[in-house]
A and B are shown apart, each in its own frame.
Chain A
Amino acid sequence: MSNSFQTEHENICMNANHGRNDDSACGFHCIKINDISVIAGGQTIIDKVNLHIHCGKVTAIIGRNGAGKTTLIRAILGEIKHSGTIEFMDLKNESRIDLKIGYVPQYINIEKNSPMSVYDLFAGYISNYPVFLRKNRKVYEKVVKQLSIFDARDLIDKRVCDLSGGELQRVLLSIAVTPVPNLLLLDEPVSGVDQKGLDLFYKNIQYLKEHYDLAMIVVSHDFEFVKKYSDHVILLDKTILREGSFEDVSRSEEFRKVFGGIA
């Protein structure tokens, strides 16, 4: 890592740290995604994507359908084969740390009439105590606590298949941040969410930004969200066509080519 990058970075951190509590982003963590490429069936789906992501920042990925946004997310998660590296650095002492990634999926496979409560869903991820036995009080309390962060406490005994899009989104968000990851990936988190749910979701993202030490990558079609909440925007089509602030990207030639002059 070059020195200039680091100094510049530390300056940002100093400013960012001002007046924040201990839980919030320290600014000293940096995730470097180097030269990620994905080739499947002889076709290049992602071509040499480089990203630098800092804790406390929201990076939005935009692009047309089929531009490889979900593939990039799955490559970062390590679910599909890819070349390139992902490094997670602590800039304070330049050490490398294991990156913990949280993920909020686009959808989950739960059919109508599925006998699964929010507690069942949640407990499966955070405990080894079999969900089919009596409820475990300790686990139950933990789930209540985590759901409360995102105004989802009352949902705990509801069936997952009865939740609205927004409610499910909040449950998945609480699952993704239990335990708190270093990087949170959200794949089109607002598809099928109504306006009230959207507002609440944005509020929660803002809350995460302010109170947690994590970086976020959000795949989104919702330019209003991208404009308001993201710190960095990436226009993706196999590779990065353009990146920068939303204003920069949305005024660019590349943006007009992809989206034909909306927004």
Chain B
Amino acid sequence: MTKQFALGIFEDEDVLLHAVENVRAAGVKVYDVFSPYPVHGIDDALGIERSRLPIAAFFFGMTGLAFALWMQIYMLGFDWPMIIGGKPHIGLPAFVPVAFELTVFFTCHGMAITFFTITGLYPRFKVPVMDVRATDDKFVMAIELDETSSQFPRLTQLLRENGASEVNQKEMTN
């Protein structure tokens, strides 16, 4: 499916932030903003909600901790108890290092997998890019157009007024 986009190209992050607010204030929906590095403050300007990844990370960590404790207690305490150095079968202090390491292991990998999955980041042979300069030195604001692209002249003017150095139209195929 092809979609039409108006792309406002900006040279500076502050100008971009200003423009995002004004464009949204003018009642235009911003499709996305592409930048070469994280622009602080853009979350508020675009209305991106706070990430729930830290909550997920916490639960991954707890899973790891529970798994590690269960594993050690089950293996050494119940499945195959052995007397090692005359110590109790379930010696919790000795289980702390492995429990800690597995907590970290589960947190890190669980969160990384979640991050790549929910953001839709996965290896592709060809990546559809709006404007190749967005990973170099330009800040790109993309606004979706309808089939006739009738709003394009008006958007061009709006983006220009808010500091876009150029405005392009681009067709994207998903």
Chains A and B come from one and the same complex:
no
